[in-house]
């Protein structure tokens, strides 16, 4: 190994501070940037990295892990006998079958395609189940293999350009549904294949709504890969917004809603960068677009609607680390109006993050319990929820520690 090569943070006997510095530099973050994200001074962080200050407690370790998007605490602590995967949930039992369907391509005509109307009805039912079932990954994981194979077959057997475009639109929708199942599971390469294939199928379809949804999901894949990919996420979102903008004066509700969802995603990424003004400016634009939708409308994929904007405001405040503001926004948001169970649970998790930031850990745990009741599989796969629960399972307050530990057992984070 060359003498100037970056050391491997997983090779002992590196100390905690060295691991933080190496992982920070690999993320392309300055010491000042990381210090701001975790709420300490750059001088304090420098002392931690240089080993002049002892390794921090669990709360700070989790904050560092979140800021650096470290998925396994062992990568920070060096204790490889104690793996805690924060941002990737457990592999779902149906992941293998879904992966096999995605990766399989029948080059002949062995799979007879279903009628288009039949596949459309099955996809509609699958999306409905995704929003209504508390164990939504189990439900759509059972449906996806056949949906993927049939949608691929429909594209292969298309006889005309119009038939092919319609089939590609359905295939893009199927890949979009697949991405919801695969997200936060231990196969990032599969997630990327599905996101990119969905974008290609959507573009081939020429369907503005399918293109908008595929762009929304692909941008999220970039953003959730870390700060170095924020620019790519913004580029995809911005290009999709520009593509849809000329269509908006005469657009139907679904196209208008996906354009609004894309606008909010620009604000979400800005909030991740701590760009306060830009984040709220995009939220305002998205809110204006939501106001153009019927009061009872909800986008079938993103849940974008008038009601969701309150939840989005909580997310922006949390990502900006504005604890008080996130709590105020949570009080204004009416989660009962969110019909999608996983989206409702996700909103509760964002509220819990806000309460945790605001120094209200008991309320945070109570809110996560509500998320668990709404959609257990959502909280089980959410890294932020897992981090809060793990932190409070070490609380010195007995009642809080007991509640957090019980919740940790329920979601599979700790053994019973």
pLDDT tens track for 51-78? 887 777 777 887 788 777 776 677 777 6
Residues of the chain with CATH 1.10.260.40: 16-77
Complete DSSP assignment for 329-372: HHHH--GGG---HHHHHHHHHHHHHHHHHTT-HHHHHHHHHHHH
Lowest-confidence range among 189-203, 233-247, 389-403?
389-403
Residue 56, phi-psi category: left (phi > 0), alpha (psi -120 to 50), beta (remainder): beta
Q: Which CATH number fits domain 16-77: 3.40.640.10, 1.10.150.120, 1.10.260.40, 1.20.1560.10?
A: 1.10.260.40
Contact (Cβ atoms closer than 8 angstroms) between residue 385 and residue 370: no
Higher-confidence residue of 383 and 376: namely 376
Rounded CA gap, 194 and 220, in Å?
13
Higher-confidence residue of 48 and 263: namely 263
Rounded CA gap, 57 and 169, in Å?
50
Rounded CA gap, 68 and 25, in Å?
10
For the chain, how long is the longest CA-to-CA vector? 70
Task: Kindly report the average pLDDT of the chain as a whole number.
Answer: 87
Q: What is the pLDDT of residue 1?
A: 38
Residues 6 or more apart in contact with residue 114 via CB below 8 angstroms:
122, 150, 153, 154
Is it the case that residue 334 has pLDDT exceeding 90?
no
Complete DSSP assignment for 365-413: HHHHHHHHHH-HHHHHT-HHHHHHHHHHTT-SSHHHHHHHHHHHHHTTS
């Amino acid at each position: 190994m060359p003498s100037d090569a970056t050391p491997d943070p997983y090779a002992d006997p590196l100390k905690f501070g060295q691991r933080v510095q190496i992982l920070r530099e690999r993320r392309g973050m300055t010491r000042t940037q990381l210090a701001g994200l975790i709420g300490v001074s750059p001088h304090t962080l420098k002392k931690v990295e240089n080993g002049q200050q002892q390794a921090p407690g669990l709360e700070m370790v989790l904050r560092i892990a979140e800021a650096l998007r470290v998925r396994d605490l062992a990568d920070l602590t060096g204790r490889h006998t104690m793996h805690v995967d924060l941002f990737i949930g457990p592999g779902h039992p149906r992941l293998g079958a879904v992966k096999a369907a995605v990766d399989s391509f029948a080059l002949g005509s062995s799979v007879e395609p279903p009628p288009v109307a039949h596949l459309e009805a099955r996809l509609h039912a699958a999306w409905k189940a995704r929003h209504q079932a508390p164990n939504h990954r189990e439900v759509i994981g059972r449906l996806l293999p056949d949906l993927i194979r049939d949608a691929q077959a429909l594209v292969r057997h298309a006889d005309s350009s119009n038939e092919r475009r319609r089939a590609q639109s359905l295939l893009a929708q199927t890949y979009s549904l697949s991405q919801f199942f695969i997200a936060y599971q231990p196969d990032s390469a599969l997630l990327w294949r599905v996101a990119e294939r969905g974008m290609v199928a959507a573009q081939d379809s020429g369907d503005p709504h399918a293109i908008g949804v595929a762009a929304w999901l692909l941008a999220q894949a970039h953003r959730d890969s870390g700060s170095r990919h924020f620019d790519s996420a913004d580029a995809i979102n911005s290009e999709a917004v520009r593509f849809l903008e000329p269509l908006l004066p005469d657009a139907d509700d679904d196209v208008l809603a996906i354009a609004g969802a894309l606008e909010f995603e620009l604000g979400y990424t800005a909030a991740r960068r701590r760009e306060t003004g830009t984040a709220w400016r995009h939220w305002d634009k998205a809110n204006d677009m939501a106001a153009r939708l019927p009061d009872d409308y909800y986008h079938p994929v993103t849940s974008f609607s008038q009601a969701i904007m309150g939840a989005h405001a909580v997310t922006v405040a949390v990502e900006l680390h504005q604890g008080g503001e996130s709590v105020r926004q949570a009080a204004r948001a009416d989660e009962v109006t969110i019909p999608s169970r996983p989206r409702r649970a996700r909103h509760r998790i964002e509220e819990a993050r806000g309460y945790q930031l605001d120094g209200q850990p008991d309320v945070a745990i109570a809110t996560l319990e509500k998320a668990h009741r709404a959609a257990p599989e959502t909280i089980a796969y959410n890294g932020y929820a897992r981090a809060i629960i793990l932190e409070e399972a070490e609380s010195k307050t007995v009642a809080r520690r007991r509640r957090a530990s019980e919740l940790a057992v329920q979601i599979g984070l700790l053994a019973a």
